[in-house]
Amino acid sequence: MNRFILSIGLIFTFAAVPTFAQDGADRVVEEVVVTGLRKESSLQDTAITITAITSADLETKQLENFEDLQFAVPTLTFAKGAYSGSGISLRGIGNFAVGNSSSSSIGYFWNGQVGSQSGLYEAEFFDVERVEVLRGPQGTLFGSGTSGGAVQLITKRPGAEFGGSLKVDLADYDSTRINGAVDIPFSDNFRSRFAFASLKRDGFVTNNYNGDQLDDRNTMAGRASFEWDFSDDTSITLIYEQTKADDNRLRAARQFCKQDSFFGCDPIQTGMDSVHSSGSYFHWINYFMFTYTDLENSYNRNNPSNDVRTVDLDFTPTHNTILESTLFEIDHALTDDVNMVFSYSYHTRDYEDWADYDHSVSVLPYALGPITTNVGVDPTTGNPGVGMRTYTSEQNIDMSTNESEWSQTELRFSSDYDGQFNFTLGFYHQTTSSETDYHIKSPSLMYYGNTNNGPHCQIFPATCNVGGLPYWGTFFGGLTAGITSATGLAQVGAIDPSAVLATGLGLASGGIVIPGVPGANAAALAALAGRTGGLPLWQQTYRNDSNMNRHSNAVYGELYYDVADDTRLTFGARYSDYEIIDYAYVGLSDLTGKAAGYFGSIQPPAEKRDFFSDATTFKLGIDHDLNDNQLIYATFSSGFKPGGTNPTDADNGGVQVYAEEEVEVFEVGMKNTLMDGRLQLNVSAYQNEIDGLQLSKIVRRSSINENASATVKGFEAEFTFFITNTLMLDGFYAHTDATIDEFMSVDPLNPGGATAFLPYAEGQTGFLKDFAPLAATCDPNVFLGLAAPSATCSLGLAASDAQLGALVKYKNTDAGMVFSSFASLCTQPYFGLDSTTLPCPVTDGVEQDLSGNRLPLSAEDNYRLGLTKFYDTSGGSYAFRVDYSFRGDTYSDTFNRPRDLIEEYDVVDLSLTYTPNNADWYVGAYVRNLSDSDHIYAKYNTDPTIGGFANGVALDPKIMGINFGMNF
């Protein structure tokens, strides 16, 4: 609060600049019409908490997209998430669940229709009438997925006269932003409007690997709107919009990691290292194939710079998307008092994004020679891959795609009677089909799938054209024996001592067969197992695929009763039912998931996962006019979003299900228009009780959703104040307390719940084989099946297995040992190569009590102050504006680890605009992020099997620009 008061003092120093002249017109806060009740009403007469940002506000506050919008609305946050999504949160409640079958907590609506929240990552504001942000449950009128609130974007509609506008914005980083619109009336009752937008700029982020600038923008958007007054009582609207993006934007920028040779990245602390590759599944699979000879030396280099706007990537990202939306609407007056609106909308999204999976540059060469392959190629899906290349060291790539279509049909009736009763009644149906694929690819997985791609085939032709676990498992199992035999041959002079390693590898792989000398003959065994030809291309990757269909039906209504001329009651309810059918497939090569032990040219069928749900939400409200300029209100409302299924199975092979999310909110508020319209002040206080809050974490490359309970309470104030006729102060202040009430969860980055990591004892190697001597402690009856083994005996028996002893590592912690095998983590010995030999139970780990932890990305204090100074001259008006935004510290994750902390930050923007009296044109200049602040405003943690690093998203750097606009 002290900082808030100080910022007011600082911002007012700007107001001391003298005024040139003043005209006689008094400036007041303009009335804004909103549609938060699914019909038009004045913002100040609408008894719900709404922030309405008009087209003029978007220009004045330099709001170009949703990343900007989060600094202009109380408690709003927006961030790109993992995979193909992005998310909005309000009042500490966000779209924390991840997955194709998951639902939103904050709804996004385009002209009243359910829009693509993931597509907001590409969207730029253009030709927008206003943006409305409704806080608190909006389930009665807007449906499920709005338990925390809703964001509406309303585009401009056609005008009755020919005219239009054009704006050009030129800025640093070779940024060129152009947008415009034109109204073309074809007749008195048929109108059209055409709008377009274009943004091209260079990237903000430097890739230290090759000096390229990344995170650029290349987007185009267009919209065509038509309105036909079919009769005096009926109007018909048709809107079509398309947005395209084709650039190298980053899903996240800087990698955050404190390097650790066991975990990859320290699960508690943070830093700016690269991930230690031994914490990655890909280092382990290379070790298994002897393309890397140990698990101690990381093949990744550190980013040579600590600048948060630098990355170190050996793969250049690509990003392509097309988003289309179409709306058909009929607005018909059934009588003088009852109106009907029928709407149908259809939307599609086609998204493809390729990225550097480990966010690092590999510098350690493969031990046996290069791998030559086309990573990612798959003719069965038409994927051309990245092209044939020769890799001298490891490279990891991920691909995220989404093809979705959805439609919404709605019929709504509303009344405007003169009496005490009025109503809104509606019927709703939505259908969604979404195919989301997430694949991880690497040259090592291609080589694992077929030896033709790498050195085994080149060195030992007899080992060509095989692959998969039958070959490589036999090779690794025979490697020790092969080298032992080769050493014996050298000792008797049969081979040169320098040929020991090559001969040992040849004996293990079956590439060399010497009569009488033991060798694994892996190639021959693989052929007998049916692996001649290697694995099919579709199986030379990790695949997490989901094909989801969702159907939702609802009937809803609100009844408004005027108790008196100045007091109104609202009763609302909505019944909804949901059917979510998800066909899910998760598999890694022939090792895990549905592909474990499978060999075939066609991918196994996906597993059908059904989820059915229904719910009734309600709203009770009362509002009262203290006078013509002051309104007080109170509401008690509920919200709901359906549960769903996780992509991975439970320990018993059944489907993992997460439950519904339900919320109840009590809110009081007051809206004030004072001082003859010069001051508008709206305040509200609320308390949310959330049961079944859906939270996500990444476990073994898949997002797993869980349920918690939480309480969120807070206070918000928004204001616009003309202090004088030429000095306007506007802004907001929000205080939010968003905490978890009850939630027990295993930390996937730290499954034992350790707080300290202990050194190895003298003689310990860190491999499970260290405990083989403990097998001697076993009761003899254990081997006869007459007694259960003790914990010590079980550890010794596991360590005595040659495969487990060599391919399982352990770490000593203050909470006991944690084990790693192929970079998965477990609190008991297990085998991480495949999911069948000795898997780690899904329920493994020590549950941590997260009660009292803060919800992700929820700042306790958040405010913005803007001061505009008008200088009125005889020819026009100058507007000089300064904006100061502040957001307190937050956590990126529910575990609230030190590494999850996102520190508080502030941003200052400046702008100067001149508009002549006839308003035919304007010219302006601006500076955004005046201090060139490089704060991180969002993070998300990655999976332990890639080292568990965090991806961070930084503020845009300091940008200076000029713009010019004209109206005609």
Q: HEC string of 737-750?
A: EEEEEECEEECCCC
Q: What is the mean pLDDT of residues 813-837?
A: 89
Strands 264-265 and 901-902 come out as unpaired
Q: Could you tell me the two tokens for 207?
A: 């890739």
Contact 453, 373 (CB under 8 A): yes
Q: Rounded to whole angstroms, how far apart are CA atoms 692 and 710?
A: 8
> What values do phi and psi take at 562, rounded to 5?
-85, 100
Q: Rounded to whole angstroms, how far apart are CA atoms 239 and 249?
A: 29
| Residue 260's pLDDT band (cuts 50, 70, 90) | very high
| Residue 939's pLDDT band (cuts 50, 70, 90) | confident
Q: Rounded to whole angstroms, how far apart are CA atoms 174 and 171?
A: 6
Instruction: Please count the CA atoms within 13 angstroms of the CA of 176 that sit on its side-chain side.
Output: 5
CB proximity list for 357: less than 8 A, separation 6 or greater: 396, 397, 398, 440, 442, 946
Residues 80-117 have pLDDT tens digits of 665 556 778 889 888 777 776 777 888 899 999 998 87
Looking at per-residue pLDDT, the higher value among 82 and 295 belongs to 295
Query: Three-state SS for 736?
Result: strand
Q: Tell me the residue type at 474.
A: T
DSSP letter string over 831-848?
--S-SSSSPPPTT-SPEE
Q: Rounded to whole angstroms, how far apart are CA atoms 74 and 134?
A: 11
Q: What is the pLDDT of residue 372?
A: 96
Contact 142, 111 (CB under 8 A): no
Residues 546-561 have pLDDT tens digits of 898 999 999 999 999 9
| Residue 38's pLDDT band (cuts 50, 70, 90) | confident
Among candidate residues 744, 701, 857, the one with its CA nearest the CA of residue 99: 701
Q: Rounded to whole angstroms, how far apart are CA atoms 185 and 89?
A: 40
Residues 562-582 have pLDDT tens digits of 999 999 999 999 999 989 888
Q: What is the pLDDT of residue 7?
A: 52
Extended beta strands in 111-204, E state: 113-114, 128-135, 149-155, 163-171, 175-187, 190-201
Q: What is the pLDDT of residue 621?
A: 95
Instruction: Please count the CA atoms within 13 angstroms of the CA of 106 that sit on its side-chain side.
Output: 23
Query: Three-state SS for 481?
Result: helix
Residues 863-900 have pLDDT tens digits of 999 999 999 999 999 999 999 999 999 998 999 999 99
- The domain spans of the chain are 28-215+229-253+317-357+398-439+543-748+852-967, 451-534, 768-845
- pLDDT at residue 79 greater than cutoff 80: no
Among candidate residues 609, 604, 551, 563, the one with its CA nearest the CA of residue 583: 609
- pLDDT at residue 519 greater than cutoff 80: no
- pLDDT at residue 12 greater than cutoff 80: no
Among candidate residues 298, 208, 212, the one with its CA nearest the CA of residue 247: 212
DSSP letter string over 375-401?
TT-BTTTTB--S-EEEESS---EEEEE
Q: Rounded to whole angstroms, how far apart are CA atoms 753 and 758?
A: 14
| Residue 648's pLDDT band (cuts 50, 70, 90) | low
Looking at per-residue pLDDT, the higher value among 895 and 654 belongs to 895
Give me the residue label for tokens 């065509």.
224
Q: Could you tell me the two tokens for 342?
A: 């029928």
Give me the residue label for tokens 């260290």.
770
- pLDDT at residue 334 greater than cutoff 60: yes
Q: What is the pLDDT of residue 678?
A: 94
Give me the residue label for tokens 């009752």.
189
Q: Rounded to whole angstroms, how far apart are CA atoms 390 and 700?
A: 29
Q: Rounded to whole angstroms, how far apart are CA atoms 814 and 100?
A: 38
Looking at per-residue pLDDT, the higher value among 81 and 181 belongs to 181
In Å, how far are 711, 713, 851, 854 from 740, measured between CA atoms? Answer: 6, 12, 5, 6
Strands 205-207 and 310-311 come out as parallel
Q: What is the pLDDT of residue 268?
A: 92
Q: What is the mean pLDDT of residues 741-757?
A: 93
Q: Please, where are the H alpha helices in 557-637?
A: none
Looking at per-residue pLDDT, the higher value among 460 and 327 belongs to 327
Q: Rounded to whole angstroms, how far apart are CA atoms 194 and 156?
A: 10
Q: CA-CA-CA-CA torsion for 87, 88, 94, 99, nearest 10 degrees?
A: -20
Q: What is the mean pLDDT of residues 687-708?
A: 86
Task: Give kind and range of the element (H or E) at residue 160.
Answer: none
Q: What is the pLDDT of residue 651?
A: 55
Q: What is the pLDDT of residue 19?
A: 42
Q: What is the pLDDT of residue 85?
A: 61
- Which of 86-90, 399-403, 730-734 bottoms out in mean pLDDT, i.e. has the lowest? 86-90
Q: Could you tell me the two tokens for 620?
A: 């009770």
Q: What is the DSSP letter of 461?
A: G
Q: What is the mean pLDDT of residues 367-373?
A: 94
Contact 819, 832 (CB under 8 A): no
- pLDDT at residue 316 greater than cutoff 90: yes
Q: What is the pLDDT of residue 716?
A: 96
Q: What is the pLDDT of residue 832?
A: 86
Percent of the chain surpassing pLDDT 90: 61
Q: Rounded to whole angstroms, how far apart are CA atoms 917 and 872?
A: 9
Q: What is the pLDDT of residue 617?
A: 92
Q: Is the dihedral of CA 346, 167, 732, 627 positive or negative?
A: negative
Q: What is the mean pLDDT of residues 302-321?
A: 92
Looking at per-residue pLDDT, the higher value among 274 and 489 belongs to 274
Q: Could you tell me the two tokens for 807?
A: 């391919």
- pLDDT at residue 781 greater than cutoff 70: yes
> What values do phi and psi take at 286, rounded to 5?
-70, -40
Contact 474, 525 (CB under 8 A): yes
Q: Tell me the residue type at 724.
A: T
> What values do phi and psi take at 694, rounded to 5?
-90, 120
Q: CA-CA-CA-CA torsion for 507, 512, 513, 518, nearest 10 degrees?
A: -10
Task: Give kind and range of the element (H or E) at residue 522.
Answer: helix 522-528
> What values do phi and psi take at 796, rounded to 5?
-65, -40
Count CB-CB contacts under 10 A for residue 765.
Answer: 10
- pLDDT at residue 528 greater than cutoff 60: no
Instruction: Please count the CA atoms within 13 angstroms of the CA of 538 that sit on its side-chain side.
Output: 19
Task: Give kind and range of the element (H or E) at residue 756.
Answer: none
Looking at per-residue pLDDT, the higher value among 594 and 826 belongs to 826
Q: What is the pLDDT of residue 641?
A: 86
Contact 884, 869 (CB under 8 A): no
| Residue 16's pLDDT band (cuts 50, 70, 90) | very low
Count CB-CB contacts under 10 A for residue 319.
Answer: 23
Q: What is the pLDDT of residue 121?
A: 79
Beta bridge partners of 702: 699
Q: In the sheet where 93-94 sits, what is the strand order?
A: 77-80, 86-90, 93-94
Q: What is the pLDDT of residue 525?
A: 62
Q: Is the dihedral of CA 842, 845, 847, 850 positive or negative?
A: negative
Q: What is the pLDDT of residue 83?
A: 57
Q: Tell me the residue type at 258.
A: K
Among candidate residues 878, 886, 884, 920, the one with its CA nearest the CA of residue 903: 886
Longest dimension (CA), the chain: 109
Extended beta strands in 19-162, E state: 33-34, 41-42, 50-54, 77-80, 86-90, 93-94, 106-110, 113-114, 128-135, 149-155
Q: What is the pLDDT of residue 22?
A: 43
Q: Rounded to whole angstroms, how far apart are CA atoms 233 and 334?
A: 8
Looking at per-residue pLDDT, the higher value among 515 and 220 belongs to 220
Q: What is the pLDDT of residue 500?
A: 77
Q: Is the dihedral of CA 363, 368, 371, 372 positive or negative?
A: positive
Residues 118-161 have pLDDT tens digits of 788 788 999 999 999 999 888 888 876 788 889 999 999 999 99
CB proximity list for 241: less than 8 A, separation 6 or greater: 110, 155, 221, 222, 223, 224, 324, 325, 326
- pLDDT at residue 8 greater than cutoff 70: no
Q: Could you tell me the two tokens for 577?
A: 């039912």
CATH of 28-215+229-253+317-357+398-439+543-748+852-967, one of 3.60.150.10, 2.40.170.20, 1.20.1250.20, 2.30.31.70: 2.40.170.20
Q: Rounded to whole angstroms, how far apart are CA atoms 11 and 864?
A: 11
| Residue 460's pLDDT band (cuts 50, 70, 90) | confident
